[in-house]
Amino acid sequence: MPTRARATLTAYEPPKKPGRPPGGMLGSPVSFQFNPETLTLSKGAEWIRHRARSAKQVGVAEFTGSQPRRLNVEVFLDATDTHDTRVQKGVETLLSWCSPTARSIAAKAASAPRVRFAWGSFDSVSFYGYLEDVSATYSLFDTDGTPLRATCTLQLIEAGDPTPRQNPTSGSPSTRRTHRLVVGDSLELLAHEEYGDPTAWRVIAEANGIDDPLRLRPGTEILVPSPDELEGNGA
């Protein structure tokens, strides 16, 4: 019987410069004990509708840009079986991801982390963004006041992806290269850095015969296909 996929939320260091991919992973992902029962994914477009006083019909609409994706999800945290502080720590972690990281402050470019929600093969909700709002409602407490149950409502806004890397001399996509894995690396992050699309991690996995993308050994050298190969595989 297949293992049930668990929804997770992972935080990364913010990009060093606007338009660049995020940095390394911050701590461990928050793995939700219970998968969401519902979530809301939305995206919009911006238009300017020009007025035409003498026209009988409406004015011509002019497209001005695409709005980011917005993901609203409700997650449930529970510690009634262990009576420990996992609920409190989980909420504090989510709240901390709305504040600038120590590294970004030291670099005089204060920014909150980039975060990515992931749930198995549900690629539509897996994108890099930032937490615009975190709201926690506690509903059960231990005898000493420790919260044992909480419902967290998260609003995640898409941050925008950088374009795939280009060859600076020819303007064409980069050729195949190798990458030595370090602690905190993931195939999704590598695909995001190379192609601007974290869902393209399967192409890297297939090129290297990787069956389990969660078991990557630091120090291992892997092959990174070029963007041309990515298109050739229909990704």
Q: Over 75-97, what HEC string results? A: EEEECCCCCCCHHHHHHHHHHHC
SS3 category, 227 = helix
| Residue that terminates a domain, selected from 110, 129, 160 | 160
Amino acid at 179: H
Give the pLDDT score at 153.
95
Q: Do 208 and 151 lie in a common domain?
A: no
Q: Do 167 and 156 lie in a common domain?
A: no
> Sign of dihedral through CA atoms 91, 92, 93, 99?
positive
Give the pLDDT score at 3.
67
Q: Do 72 and 116 lie in a common domain?
A: yes
Nearest to 181, CA basis, from 172, 190, 193: 190
Give the pLDDT score at 234.
52
Amino acid at 72: N
Give the pLDDT score at 161.
53
Strand partners, 195: none
| Residue that terminates a domain, selected from 114, 136, 160 | 160
Number of domains in the chain: 2
Amino acid at 228: D
* Domain that residue 104 falls in: 1-160
Residue 208 sits in a domain of what CATH number? 3.10.350.10
Structure token pair of residue 207: 């090129």
Report d(CA 226, CA 177) in Å as an integer.
Answer: 8
Structure token pair of residue 113: 């982390």
Q: Do 109 and 177 lie in a common domain?
A: no
Report d(CA 164, CA 196) in Å as an integer.
Answer: 5
Q: Do 228 and 136 lie in a common domain?
A: no
Give the pLDDT score at 101.
93
pLDDT along the chain (235 residues), means of 10: 78 81 83 88 88 68 88 92 93 95 90 92 89 96 95 92 45 63 84 80 87 85 79 54
* pTM for this predicted structure: 0.65
Q: Do 125 and 187 lie in a common domain?
A: no
Report d(CA 159, CA 157) in Å as an integer.
Answer: 6
Backbone angles phi, psi at 29, to 5 degrees: -60, 150
Report d(CA 132, CA 46) in Å as an integer.
Answer: 20
For residue 106, what are the CA distances in angstroms to 103, 110, 111, 130, 215? 5, 8, 11, 20, 32
Using CA atoms in the order 9, 72, 190, 32, what is the torsion angle rounded to 10 degrees? 20
